Structure 1
Amino acid sequence: MFQKRTEIINNLKKISYLLPIGIFALALVTLYKQLHHMHLEEIHNVFSHISSADIFLVLVFTFLSYIILSFYDVLAVNYINHWIPIDKIVISSFISTSISYNIGFNFLTSGSLRYRLYSFYGLTLLEIGKIVTFCGLTFWVGISFIGGTVLTFYPLKLPESISIPVIYFKVVGVLLLLILFSYFFFCITQRSFKIKNHEINFPKINIAFLQLIVATLDYVLIGCVFFFLLPHYGHVSYLYVLTVFLIAQMIGLISTVPGGLGVFETIMLFMLSPYFHSNDILGTLVVFRLVYYFIPFIVGTVLLSHNEIIVRKKMLTSSHRRTISKISAFIPQIFAVLIFFAGMVLLFFEALPPQIENIRLMATIIPLSLIESSSLLSSMIGVLLLILAKGLWKRIDGAYVLSLMVLFLGAVLSILKNFNYIEALILFLTFLALLPNRNYFYRKSSLMNQLFSKDNVIAICLVIISFIWLGFFFHRHADYSHETLWQFGIDSHISRFLRSVVGSIFVLVVVGILKLLGSSSKDIRLPNEEDMDLAVKQIRTSTDTKGNLVLLKDKYLIFDEKREAFIMYSISGKSWICMGDPIGNVDNIKDLIWDFHETANLHQGWTVFYEVSEKFIPYYIDIGLKLIKIGEEAKIKLSEFNLEGSAGKDFRYSVKRMEKAGYHFEVIPCEYALDHEKELKYISDAWLEIKHTSEKKFSMGFFDIDYLSNFPLAVVKKEDKIVSFANVWLSAKNTELTIDLMRYDPAIADRTMDYLFVKLMLWGKENGYEYFSLGMSPLSGLEDRNLAPLWTKIGAAIYKHGEYFYNFKGLRAYKNKFNPIWEPRYIALPSNFKQVSALKDVALLISGGTKELLFK
């Protein structure tokens, strides 16, 4: 029964995704049928009916509408009885409303934006939820009142092409009024409902009336915006336009298509076609979208960016770095898409025939040579913006600076070439939106050293090809000759287009040549003596003990530009696998991770970070990696560790038993390790033989006396004979100690390791160390839940039932008896199909090869 219900829910989810796509596709087909007869000249003249006075009125009504919309939030904040400055409420309301109107899924998008904005004013999740719900109710109160009234009582005369009986609209109107009366009844009787033990009351009746007034004014103003954009609006009544507008809005909302795009336009074209020419309706719809949706969207995005800058500064002082990293994870990508779009705009406008009147006007002000140069440079700048988008995606500071310069120059050139104010406005608004976001583009890297993926190259080529195709399509009746390219004049737009094509291809060729001649990736080589000295110096000042693995000299190193931090890595298959977190100066880690990622990409490799902590997770996410939990590391707080009381009973027993049998613990300084080489080698070989295994690689040490002589050795002796040993890793500032290579004589009971652990912890405590690490317990701490990711479920299942392969549970239980603090450890790796290959490469690298992986 449960499985069947789950299948039904999944099918409904699929339908919910497909429904808006289907509606949108149907709307586009319908729009095509309505507008296919239009010619290029009619498209140019589509806005001619809108006067400057009408535009001014529309702007005023739009401004007043958004002011009224802010009172949704003012009333909501009053409803939850929480004081917030009125200016903060207005800004928060405008940002959330202007952006959600364009993105769609209003409840989710406006809800998430309001949560982001209002949480900084001390509001709880429940209070913000009440605000979002209240604003949604206010919206539907307005819809119910205005829509219910006009649909019920206004004699709606539908076009003959629409065969829907008017009575259906009246039924909808009556239902809307019933919903409104029900809401007011609940407000008068002060009803309430519960959501997870939280009681939520309906607003008081006075607030409900204010909701009605505010929402009604809002819709009256929106209707005015659209009405005054219509040509000769005296031919049709305002009430008819408002009714049609409400119907189109409701259907657009139900479709969940972002902003009702396409759906809203189709309904309006159908309903208004008996009164206006389709060209005039199209012009009205485009300007309405621009004025009421797009311009507020751009302003809202700029305000949101400015708000995030302020929040970033505040949160840095409060050390909420994780939240900041989540914000920065998507801001550069948004601007990369916007810049790419701006490049498309420049190119596509260059392909379209310009307004000759505009060029003639500009020719009276500036020389023709400047007009021709501006047209050529615009196309070149368009291509440059397509290329710069990749640099912004990778957060390169040079791409940010150059993008600002190019956007501003492009806006100026758009005016100079043919007074294309729409193109200039798009570029300038993108410039303003990008300007306050300098902090998100922090990488000091060469633009020419960036690797362009196959997808990037394909996307740029498709845009260029589309630009060329559009130009030749719109100029398909032109007569081409060898001289066409060199013709100059006000009417020579075909020649300008051809020169733009040449300029675009020239930019691509130049960038390609510079890319080929640019410096390649950093050398891949094992560290030399100088590298090792530098790495050891950084290890000695690091609190991360895993950096000691570099002393095995089996890994490649990559340093940051200042050589104050390094990453140690190995290559297995196509995977470039970093062991642990980067070591060194924390301020340089971010750029170092990017350098490593790009070096791997330049060699067609995949970036992987194995056994990393939570410390640098935001940086791994920034470069597009996905994190998977692979286990937990056990750490013991040494100040709380002792052998007293019931908790230390087993440890006391182990110590007494071993010392009674003649064993004792000792720490041998690193300089004396060579003196015991034969003893240690014998124990190590015997241990490997009895375990039927070989030395593991990469993530742990292997027996090499040169490697072991870098560390103190914790040993257990019987008389003067060593029976077990482990090399001890020590961190800077006495933060942590741990052991790496652990071996014991198989002829002696393995209880010696318990004794060694306990005595080493006590030794560390005496020497002022804070923590002792028992290492990672693989696959432990993974949640086996229905909604858990697939890897987590597989890992949890292996942990529970994989005793045949490895004693996962036993290892966790053994470490648990020391009462440790468990810290999660992750692997950061590419997504999709690369994941499986990367996991395989890691397993082969650690085990030492396929044979060792399969046969122990």
Structure 2
Amino acid sequence: MKASIEWIKAHAKIFKTIFLVAVVVIVFGELISIGKTVNINQLKNSFADIPVYKIILMGVIGILSILPMTGYDFTLNQMLDLKHKKSYILETSWLVNTINNIAGFGGLVSIGLRSEFYTKEKNSKEVLGALSKILLFLESGLSIFSLISFFMVISGTTESFLRQYWVWLIGGGLYFPAVYLFTALKKKGLLGGLQTKFRLQLALSSFLEWGGVLATFLVIGWFMDVHVSMWNVVPLFIASSVMGIVSMIPGALGSFDVMMILGMSNLGIPRETVIVWLLLFRLFYYLIPFALGMVLFFKNIWTRLDSRYDSIPKELTLEIFHKIEVFMLYFSGIMLVLLATIPQAFSELKWLQHLNFFRYHAIVQFPNIILGFSLLIMGRGIAARVKRAYFPTIALLSIAIVYSWLIDFSPAAVVLLSLMLIMIVVSRSELFREQLVYSWEWLTIDAIIIGTLSLLYIAIGVYNLPSFPHHRNGRTISFFLFPSEKLWFSGFVAIIIVSLFILLFVRYLQGSKKQMGIFLDEQKVLAILDKFGGNIDSQLVFLKDKSVYIYNDGKEDTVFFQFATYNNKCIVMGDPSGKKEDFENAYYQFIHEADQWCYQPVFYETNEDSVMTLHELGYDFIKMGEEALVDLDTFTTSGKKMKGTRAVLNKIAKEGYTFEVLETPFSETDMQAFRQISDSWLGDRKEKGFSLGFFSESYLQRGPMAVVKNTDGEIVSFANIMPTYTKEIGTIDLMRHHSDKAPSGSMDFLFVNLFEYMKNQGIRYFDLGMAPLSNVGNSRKSFIQERMAYLIYEFGSRFYSFQGLRDYKEKYASEWISRYTLYSRDSWIAYVMIAILLIDNRTIEKDGTVARNRKKRWLKF
């Protein structure tokens, strides 16, 4: 015996699985059986004769009658001292009891399910004892009603034929007293030791349960206007239920129904009426509560699954819902506008009929256009995931549902719009953005859709003018014909009105128009650079032509980004500066915050480490070029490769030119000399900023200046040495020479002397900067974006010497480092490149400010 018990314990999971599968099979089979007994036509006819409010009340009472059954499960949790939440007990209890109502088997199914839901962490013997006691009390309520019915029958207050059921009633009535006395007297064992309060709780739950069952049946008959004495129905119902329970037939189907039909017929109720009564009882007490139970069941399964896989299923589902609702908003809007624009086409083209869920009447053309375009712009708000779009979309869909139901009745449209409404409510968490920044990508899509629909409507109006040629030659396109000019004009007015609404709604979605980042805080930025270091681009932040985003690890500022914003794109210059260990967290926080405010960061000229990090965060990349590094330890001007450069250097040195490094602060005289050289070098050209330095006195005063002087001690060329906040790499930014006074080759003279100077400073590499589009897209296997960039490289070389720049740096470079641009997968690469081009070529005024007003640029599409 002991070995058998151990074997059962070892295979408990298998038995549980078999049990659950058996329950599913039984329930499915009983649903089929119930389905066979339900005559749909009879139900339709019955519903047609019963007022709607009565049907609703039947459903409410049927649902309320299930609630007392939850008392078993609350008592079970007390008996076993379980700590389940009340909401969990309520949900699982509803599921257990509604399944048990269908499956039956004297409550055995409910006991198995309760064991699965509540008692996994408890001792099996203790659990078995508690469940066995509950099983004993499940029918105690029916027993009490049996006793009551027995006295009703023998008292002579009922029809005489009901006395034949006294045996069933007394038999059922004796069950409760026997169980109560047995559990009260037995102090130990599997069925013993049940406290008085638990006995009373279980008995009360069962009594209320059967009271609910009886009340549901009686109320349905009352609402059907069946005139029969309750004193006769109650004993008949209870006796039939006892027979059904004794027979152990799932759901008491068969014996209960037969007894009720025969008994009610003896009471003078037509057989057809009794059948409908029973059908409605099955529907409102069994099927509808069971359907709600299934909803709770799948919710329970879903919660477990979602918890097991770290909420990924929920996120995927909400994402799918979001995409579906966006598609349906756009689809519905397009269909409504087309319905008002080419109504004849929906009659002639069958495929268009199948696509359309709406109906058309001439009188509703105006609201069709208003609703159609409104759904389109609401679709944009939802697609952009803007919080502010939620309530207006809910309101518009509600109006559309009422409109489709009352004005232009279309059941399919009502169902479609209702599903959209439900999905938007369920997936509200997907709307997380605080404002709308109307990106070029979104504007392109919406302009194509809304513009095409508007132009089509106008074109059809022109086509229907009396003076149009087709009226003279008799050749017409039938579905371009419009009912009347007056009707077309009303639609045109609707387009004008909805255009104003679209502009106002977009302005509403834009919200506070918050921009990312802050203006340069020199104290914070310098603290990060001094403590954690920087890179070759860090010094560009002091140009003050970019915004700054600072990451704090919870204790101190450790990382910053420098960027400029155009449209919805935050173009980040280079790699982040600061503590490398925090780069990944800083990237994540910056991207998350930008997404919240509807911006898309674009990371311009980053290294390979950043590519790997950002690719994991959902970014695509394109190679932008290669950066030239000079190994100062191995650099030499000897050899055949540098023969021409040596000749130039010797010539300049013989002419008396000298190299010198000036330290800050620079005198007013020196600064004026730098200004004259810069102006001479620029000529008619304008300063550029962002990825390159421009002439700014405050910026140049931040680092040493390498200069070339003539024999008179006059500065003719200069290059500002950029602090890189690292001992590994040195570089320069502005490198300019006087167009008249500087000798040919002065830049080579400056470079070679700089290499020697920085080598003496202990610096290993000199950064010559990037060669744009160098070695990009050469391979047939390269990304399509890079292949396109290669074409730009080849074509652009006619206007800008990409290859010449590469060749110039090649003679010094020891190695080349690839540089990349990373962009969100939601962006279009063409618009990303345009934004970079516009940012990188902004004109800088002589006072060091960006030519265009930044606030105005925010509004620019």
Name the TM-score class by shorter chain.
0.3 to 0.5
TM superposition score normalised by structure 1: 0.44
Point out the structure with max Rg over C-alpha: 2
TM superposition score normalised by structure 2: 0.43
